[in-house]
Amino acid sequence: MAENKRLIIPLKDAASMLSMCRQTLMEYVKKGKIPCVRLAENAVYFRPQDLDAFISDHLTMYSPSSFN
């Protein structure tokens, strides 16, 4: 992920960075797949290192033959 100097990233931006909708990202939060920072009921944020870890945990390597 690109270098990010923010300590926390708002839900909308985090979802955009992961190319998913906010609802899908919140489902991952509810399932315990990615931690979030809640500053208020409707103020959900994510730490950049948690987004990086989420990406690493979901990294899948495909071989050229798997696309045939």
* Domain locations along the chain: 9-57
How far is it, in rounded angstroms, from Cα 63 to Cα 43?
A: 41
pLDDT tens profile 49-68: 999 999 999 888 887 776 66
- What is the mean predicted confidence (pLDDT) over 25-47? 96
pTM (two decimals): 0.80
What's the whole-number average pLDDT of the chain? Answer: 90
Look-up: residue for tokens 């809640």? Answer: 38
pLDDT tens profile 13-25: 999 999 999 999 9
Beta bridge partner(s), residue 10: 45
Q: Strands of 43-46's sheet, edge to edge?
A: 9-10, 43-46, 37-40
- pLDDT grade, residue 8 (50/70/90)? very high
CA distances from 48 to 2, 6, 10, 27, 65 (A): 10, 8, 10, 18, 34
